[in-house]
């Protein structure tokens, strides 16, 4: 089957390469001539484990091609996938669909009769209806189909997620689209017995947003329980196992940390809220999830301040890991950014290290010393803060790390290290969801307030990072 993919971003490139790997003839088209030229020369513009090899193999085999010519890409294609970006609009947080609609307008006069146009971009409910009208304004009704096929790719493991999915969701309104998409996925995934959920187009569009909002809520839930664990002397890691082994809950997305980020959860939760607001339906749980997550990211700076006796002014802090998760160079909504910005406002000097995210970090951070070596980043630092749990950060020699630091403070926002081993190396450890060492905190007073060294400074600076309450609105960002 010949397939055209409009857009060579994360979704388009991964999808195109994987479809080609299944034996289809795939043409990826993009208006960015520089990006297309790079891809034609084997240079992949994003970091995703295994993607370089997949593109190289299928490009070399002639199954995968790259072009700026839309007519060349869609001519003779049985299926055209729209995989362009839908970034949040700054004013309201709803999805910007201009790229989707522009692609629909441009491809409408170029496609062959019987073509199935598939919206693979993450879009609000009803987007497919508008795409249908756009194409239908220049083509006879019944000569084409518009379907929805959301992606569920996790950055860092996108190839396996595509080739070995836990389910495939397609939204169709006619038999042509149903048959074409069932053929596309059914043959390669038959042996795996992968469920293919065929539903209405609007339901398919909503499934993607609902899934991401639920996972974001799950992350926020365990993060708030981690705060409670610290206060009552419990361990959130053990708690997560205890509830995660319940089959109704599951163990995934129960790793406490500094808050979720990335290209999907922040954008999709906001877009879902905007859609619900447009229809007059309150989604209170999702609203609170968004508010709590934004507050948590900046509150992590207070955790670092607390670990340094309530004041970081003039101190050097080494931040290890900048991307929102390991195995990606994506800095979008990364918790490291508000953490660093808040610590800078507190007067700290920031050094930072990330295995692959440095170049993207330069675009969003200022006045930060970026290093290519974790040990050099930590040299003479007063504290090390682990923000992203890359394997090469997990595998650092803690004894060596402690020797080169000025103060032995380790703030582990990902619980990447065994606290006992870190303490043996000479560190004073502050982790997520684990009660701090007794010698750094006194018992709660009768009023319920912890007695923290430097508490007056800590409290005063806390006032500077309290997020504005959503107050039932989603415009607080």
Q: Please count the CA atoms within 13 angstroms of the CA of 174 that sit on its side-chain side.
A: 15
Handedness of CA 286, 292, 295, 296 (dihedral sign): negative
Q: Radius of gyration (Cα) for the chain, nearest Å?
A: 24
Helix (H), strand (E) at residue 385: strand 383-386
Task: Please tell me the distance from the alpha carbon of residue 178 to that of residue 268, in angstroms, as a whole number.
Answer: 26
Q: Count of CB atoms within 10 A of residue 26's CB? A: 28
User: Backbone phi, then psi, for 81, in 5-degree steps?
Assistant: -100, 125
Q: Which whole-number Å values give the CA distances from 172 to 5, 178, 179, 203, in the listed order?
A: 19, 6, 10, 10
Tokens of 437: 């060492």
Q: Which whole-number Å values give the CA distances from 47 to 50, 82, 351, in the listed order?
A: 9, 22, 23
CB 315 within 8 A of CB 325: no
Q: What is the 3-state secondary structure (H, E, C) of 179-248?
A: HHHHHHHHHHHCCCCCCEEEECHHHHHHHHHHHHHHHHHHHHHHHHHHHHHHHHCCEHHHHHHHHHCCCC
E strands in 380-469 = 383-386, 409-412, 428-431
Tokens of 255: 């790793």
CB 313 within 8 A of CB 382: no
Is 28 tagged catalytic? no
Annotated catalytic residue, options 28, 229, 264, 377: 264
Q: Which of 351, 389, 385 is nearest to 371 (CA)?
A: 351
Task: Please tell me the distance from the alpha carbon of residue 419 to that of residue 357, in angstroms, as a whole number.
Answer: 27
Task: Please tell me the distance from the alpha carbon of residue 122 to that of residue 102, in angstroms, as a whole number.
Answer: 15
Tokens of 428: 């004073």
**Residues labelled as active-site residues:** 264
């Amino acid at each position: 089957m010949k397939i055209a993919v409009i857009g060579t971003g994360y979704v388009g490139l991964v999808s195109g390469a994987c479809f080609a790997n299944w034996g289809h003839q795939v043409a990826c088209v993009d208006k960015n001539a520089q990006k297309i030229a790079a891809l034609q020369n084997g240079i992949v513009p994003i970091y995703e484990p295994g993607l370089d090899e997949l593109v190289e193999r299928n490009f070399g085999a002639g199954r995968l091609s790259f072009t700026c010519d839309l007519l060349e890409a869609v001519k003779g294609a049985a299926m055209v996938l729209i995989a362009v970006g839908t970034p949040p609009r700054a004013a309201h947080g709803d999805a910007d669909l201009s790229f989707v609609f522009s692609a629909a307008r441009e491809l409408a006069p170029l496609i062959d009769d019987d073509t199935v146009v598939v919206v693979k971009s993450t879009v609000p409910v009803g987007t497919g209806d508008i795409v249908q009208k756009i194409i239908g304004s220049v083509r006879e009704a019944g000569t084409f189909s518009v379907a929805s096929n959301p992606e569920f790719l996790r950055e860092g493991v996108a190839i396996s997620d595509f080739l070995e999915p836990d389910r495939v969701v397609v939204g169709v309104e006619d038999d042509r689209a149903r048959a074409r998409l069932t053929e596309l996925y059914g043959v390669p995934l038959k042996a795996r017995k992968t469920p293919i959920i065929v539903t209405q187009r609007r339901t398919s569009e909503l499934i993607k947003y609902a899934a991401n909002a639920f996972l974001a809520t799950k992350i926020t839930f365990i993060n708030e329980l981690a705060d409670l664990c610290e206060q009552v002397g419990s361990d959130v890691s053990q708690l997560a196992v205890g509830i995660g082994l319940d089959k109704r809950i599951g163990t995934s997305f129960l790793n406490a940390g500094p808050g979720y980020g990335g290209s999907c959860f922040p954008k999709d939760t906001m877009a879902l809220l905007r859609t619900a607001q447009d229809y007059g339906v309150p989604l209170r749980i999702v609203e609170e999830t968004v508010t709590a997550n934004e507050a948590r990211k900046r509150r992590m700076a207070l955790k670092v301040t607390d670990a340094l006796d309530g004041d970081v002014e003039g101190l050097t802090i080494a931040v290890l890991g900048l991307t929102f998760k390991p195995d990606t160079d994506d800095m979008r909504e990364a918790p490291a950014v508000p953490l660093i910005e808040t610590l800078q406002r507190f007067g700290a000097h920031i050094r930072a290290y990330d295995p692959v995210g440095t170049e993207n970090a330069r675009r969003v951070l200022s006045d930060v010393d970026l290093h290519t070596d974790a040990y050099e980043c930590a040299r003479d630092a007063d504290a090390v803060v682990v923000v992203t749990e890359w394997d090469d950060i997990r595998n650092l020699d803690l004894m060596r790390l402690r020797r080169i630091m000025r103060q032995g403070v380790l703030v582990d926002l990902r619980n990447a290290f065994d606290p006992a081993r870190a303490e043996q190396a000479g560190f004073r450890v502050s982790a997520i969801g684990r009660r701090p060492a007794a010698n750094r905190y006194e018992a709660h007073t009768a009023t319920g307030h912890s007695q923290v060294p430097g508490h007056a400074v800590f409290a005063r600076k806390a006032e500077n990072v309290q997020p504005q309450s959503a107050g039932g609105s989603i415009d607080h960002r």
